[in-house]
Structure 1
Amino acid sequence: MLMILSAACRLTAQTTPTTAVIFNDEDLVTQIFGKNKESLLNEFLKISPVEESAFQSAFLEYETEKSPWLSERIALLKMYNEEFSSLDERKMNSLTKEIINNDLEFGRLQMRYFRRMNKLLGATRAAKFFQLDNYLEQSTREFIQNQLPFIKELESDRQVYNHDTKPLSSR
């Protein structure tokens, strides 16, 4: 059987000063899609019994290598969340660059494993693997992002409008 993320990474996101929410990646996939990553991949890729052992090995190695990247991303988001109200221009610049560099590193990791999955599964199913992996990653990212406060000024200046374009309330 395929293993879900080898290490469950957690993010503590404070939605209010007194409320903390804990995210577990394994649980997030199940919460969002109603199935775990293993089930989704098996159904989507239709891994044959002959391919199963080699695929499981490659998948486990990919998830293991992906884990530090994911941990770093979560740490960066956690840092933003804990310090967002006091981030100055220099720190915001640095934090944003770190997040972008994290994304670039993840792209390089995917390229290495695309070559491997291509040999194991063929180009179409390798593409499907990364399509699903990216979809799951983006979906969990969006879920986490929705729990984080929006950058200071944009959040405090946002207003809700009705059909007549009159402000209903400030947020």
Structure 2
Amino acid sequence: MRNLFCLLVVLLATLGAQAQTVQVAMPLEGEDIITEIFGKNKDALMKDYLRISPVETKGFQEALMDYETDKQPWQAERLALLRMYNEEFTSLDEKKLNSLTKQMMNNDLEYSHLQMRYFRRMNKLLGANRAAKFFQLDSYFEQSTKSYIQNNLPFIKELEAGRLVYFREKPITRR
């Protein structure tokens, strides 16, 4: 339930919009964002945090590469949805917002399923404690990336503030 709530909060924050006509520049790569935020690439941060031993390095590298490869379509879809939102935010109506919101939720659900599959693998490789740390750190990276991107996107409420609202059959400006 907590994950669903967090997912909804992030989704709503991600789909935010401002009433402006300028397109917002979006970063292209999540890895670049991680490096910009943390000063190191994701692999180095993972190895440092999880204390991967030389004996575990090969197996961990393979599992990590498989995980990142399987995660690429999910990330590409999420980025495409964010780009779609970014390009169309001035003309989004209820139907488009409904569709984008559902697509983002489905995208996040697919990501959760991917994590569950790989948790089993990481658990066997690293043990429960470090597997949990791995996914905690991975989720932190994803949330940091989403927040970074969200900070560059317009926010829905601000878009709505400029629309006329009918209250008791009289048009008023929403504030």
Shorter-chain TM-score range: 0.7 to 0.9
Q: Summarize the Cα distance change of 1:19–1:149 in structure 2 as closer, same or farther, 3 Å threshold.
A: closer
2:91 maps to which of 80, 86, 92: 86
- The answer to whether 1:108 aligns with 2:120 is no
Gaps of 5+ in 1: 1-14, 159-171
1:25 is matched by which residue type in structure 2? Answer: G
1:38 maps to which of 40, 43, 63: 43
1:19 and 1:122 map into 2 onto residues whose CA distance is 42
Give the structure with the larger helix fraction: 2
Give the structure with the larger strand fraction: 1
1:136 and 1:149 map into 2 onto residues whose CA distance is 22
- After superposition, the C-alpha distances for 1:61-107 in whole angstroms (9 at most, x for unaligned) are 00000000000000001101111111111111111000000000000
Identity %: 63
2:137 maps to which of 116, 120, 132: 132
1:101 and 1:52 map into 2 onto residues whose CA distance is 33
Q: Summarize the Cα distance change of 1:41–1:77 in structure 2 as closer, same or farther, 3 Å threshold.
A: same
- The answer to whether 1:74 aligns with 2:79 is yes
1:19 and 1:134 map into 2 onto residues whose CA distance is 25
Gaps of 5+ in 2: 1-19, 163-175
Q: Summarize the Cα distance change of 1:137–1:58 in structure 2 as closer, same or farther, 3 Å threshold.
A: same
SS in 2 for 1:23: coil
Q: Considering only aligned residues, what root-mean-square deviation do their CA atoms show, in Å?
A: 1.9
TM-score in terms of structure 2 length: 0.77
